Structure 1
């Protein structure tokens, strides 16, 4: 294994020359931006935090501060540029809100930007350390929970009575010689890391403390590591922004935001007052996309019992879209839909209580009245291509079951949240320029596939989950609503519950 004896950029071997075999007992130390991550610019991650903790005005403030940060970064010092970004993002924000956003929002975007060659070497070592100029509070949840990093050394932010001041705690931003000092303090004088990886001259001081040194050359066309191949894929994540907000995308978001609000209100209002059979034309006229696959089940005959349409759960308006595709009224049941969402819904929404006996009675009454019922047995939404465990309650109450696969596509805003205001979910979804739904009606279950043929309710529910997963190319999991809310909000997913658990990775 090559050991560099010089520190000039053109003499240090590149990461492509590093052998990752036989590293099981080695310690690796790496920079973050431009090294472990492909992107050398940390602005998008500050922007994600800014929008999550302060909305569009905080995002605007950060964007206006970005030119100054860029000028200072390039012509004065890396430290000065980082200080501007920290102040614009964090000043006056609750430290708890920053921690929550870092745990729930950033991992998804970080996981999509991992450098494949750095990760090849980094993941082969047993002990891992990351040095970064970014605030430790931002990067630590992802690095420790998803990549298994042992030590995270980053810039510390100052706070007063639980609120960030926007200034750096201690002496300096962790750049240049400060990285070397922090590394020596963390490892002591007796321990020498085996591998040091950086991407710029300011990384050389800490790299000199390592036995081997490798540089990551800037190659913008490098394809990132596929997120699903990571030790812990990011299944649950929060935040409203879909894309990583580069300065240009951030500008487009800010310019679109007032237009999106007006368009969203118009879409919601017209769909609320229009006959359900006409909603499909309203949506398409206003830019919405709706693709219907398969054959929708016919209406229930007079005096007959209603059918259950079992759907994958993507947004709060899944049942509305299914009704639009059927061009007839249906009912739906939900546990945590806000009152305002019930009020604007064009279909009837019934509240579940999480009391199994009461909920079973409610569903049975709906079906006995001859009304078709749209139900999402996952109990909560999932943005990624995974299906959560299906509650088997529906399987006990009917043998008239139609699986329905649902896929949503958005380009700007997510229409779901675990930590924000849920009554805004439909509005954020319709703020997208062209929100898209794809609804696939699958074959109704045969009698021998239901509980009427002696199968258990769990067998039926698992079978329906697998049928839907195959139709939309998703993966089945055994994760539940509780797992999601513990990962993102520190609760068990109960309405009105305050955080009682430490936020954990999915």
Structure 2
């Protein structure tokens, strides 16, 4: 089944179905199709796998550990690498949580972990925090897209300093192993607002965009792996960093962007709601990464992959 067009305001969604002659056409799904093509079994001889670059739509949701097609040769390579990868992942974790950034960064690079950092031209945007009317300094809120649970940690490596990471539904094991302070969101707007203000009075904070109310600095993250993906919606979340570190030479890219202006981030003039600000930040992140924004939400992702809305109350934590 193929999709043509889009679901935005600029066009409609056209669905084309391909089915066999012995397939019943009274299936409700065919009522959504613009065109239906019937093919004979003999026609399958001329069928070929469609190259990925010619797919009508790019893959949006993915939930699997393997980052490669498990052909016999590649499966053999995974089995041969797995014992070495486990030892290497444990070594990388020990180095990351036990040594300062100045020492751990070159050691981790020696083990194959690659970190690429791009900073804006104005270095003051990264270093300076905002000043409150009472003379006290408030930390910077770093806003990023989400690739793996290691996103805040890699920002710390890029900046060379510790940050407070605001998390949601993080496993206990991940919290224990985290070398930086992690604080959970309660999903109560008033409580989370007070908690964020308290953390920002203590230093810089990193969070994914969920509505902004302070001067913030956006940064984009991207990861490249060869064997295992370091994120999942249905598996054990505490193993996500482990699978990422199992790769022979994974790459993390951290790109620091320009600071969101005070007028935009605080919504003081009333021209932008908190949703508008979050969407603005997400568009800037997508532009930096070369990604395409969709109308799909986090709720859509978890309903598709895990059968729930991605809330901590609807599933047991790992």
Which TM-score band applies after superposition, normalised by the shorter structure?
A: 0.7 to 0.9
Cα distance in 1 between the residues matched to 2:99 and 2:166: 22
Q: In structure 2, what is the Cα distance between the partners aligned to 1:498 and 1:350?
A: 20
Change (3 A) 1:453 1:423: same
1:446 aligns with one of 242, 261, 270? 261
Change (3 A) 1:279 1:214: closer
Q: Flag the 1:130–1:308 CA change in 2: closer, same or farther, 3 A.
A: farther
Aligned to 1:195: 39
Which has the larger displacement, 246-255 or 445-454? Answer: 445-454
Deviation sequence 1:65-95 (CA, Å, 0-9, x none): xxxxxxxxxxxxxxxxxxxxxxxxxxxxxxx
| Aligned counterparts of 2:85 and 2:201: Cα–Cα separation in 1 | 41
Higher Rg? 1
In structure 1, distance between residues paired with 2:146 and 2:99: 24
What's the CA shift for 1:261? 0.7
**1:81-480 residue pairs with structure 2 within 5 A?**
128-129=19-20, 194-196=38-40, 206-207=41-42, 213=43, 215-216=45-46, 223-224=51-52, 226-227=54-55, 229-230=56-57, 233-295=58-120, 297-298=126-127, 300=129, 303-369=136-202, 371-377=203-209, 391-392=210-211, 395-396=212-213, 398=214, 400-450=215-265, 451-454=267-270, 455-480=272-297
Q: Distance in 1 between matches of 2:261 and 2:16?
A: 52
Shift of residue 496 of structure 1?
5.5
Measured in 2, the distance between the counterparts of 1:242 and 1:130 equals 36
Unaligned runs of 5+ in 1: 1-35, 37-110, 112-122, 132-143, 152-192, 197-205, 208-212, 378-390, 500-506
TM-score in terms of structure 1 length: 0.52
| RMSD of aligned residue pairs (Cα, Å) | 3.1
- Residue 217 of structure 1 deviates from its aligned partner by 6.8
State how far apart, in whole Å, the 2-side matches of 1:488 and 1:217 are. Answer: 29
C-alpha separation in 1, matches of 2:53 and 2:115: 32
> Does the 8 Å contact 1:272/1:345 carry over to 2?
yes
Give deviations 1:29-88, integer Å, cap 9, x for gaps: xxxxxxx9xxxxxxxxxxxxxxxxxxxxxxxxxxxxxxxxxxxxxxxxxxxxxxxxxxxx
Cα separation, 1, equivalents of 2:71 and 2:282: 37
Give the match's secondary structure for 1:442: strand
Retained in 2: the 8 A contact 1:485–1:492?
A: yes
Number of equivalent positions: 287
Counterparts of 1:318 and 1:495, CA distance in 2: 20
> Is 1:482 equivalent to 2:307 in the alignment?
no
Structure 1: how far apart are the matches of 2:140 and 2:52? 45
- 2:21–2:39: 8 Å Cα contact kept in structure 1? no
Q: Find the counterpart in structure 2 of residue 497 from structure 1.
A: 314
Distance 1:364 1:277, change over 3 A: farther
Cα distance 1:224–1:469, how it changes in 2: closer, same or farther (>3 A)? closer
Relative to the length of structure 2, the TM-score reads: 0.81
Residue 329 of structure 1 aligns to a residue in which SS?
coil
d(CA) in 2 for partners of 1:485, 1:217: 33
Q: In 2, Cα distance between the equivalents of 1:317 and 1:127?
A: 42
Q: Distance in 2 between matches of 1:319 and 1:420?
A: 21
1:332 and 1:349 in contact (8 A); partners too: yes
Gaps of 5+ in 2: 3-13, 23-28
Give CA-to-partner distance per residue, 1:337-375, whole Å, 9 cap, x none: 111111111111001111111111111110122x10011
1:128 partner SS:
strand
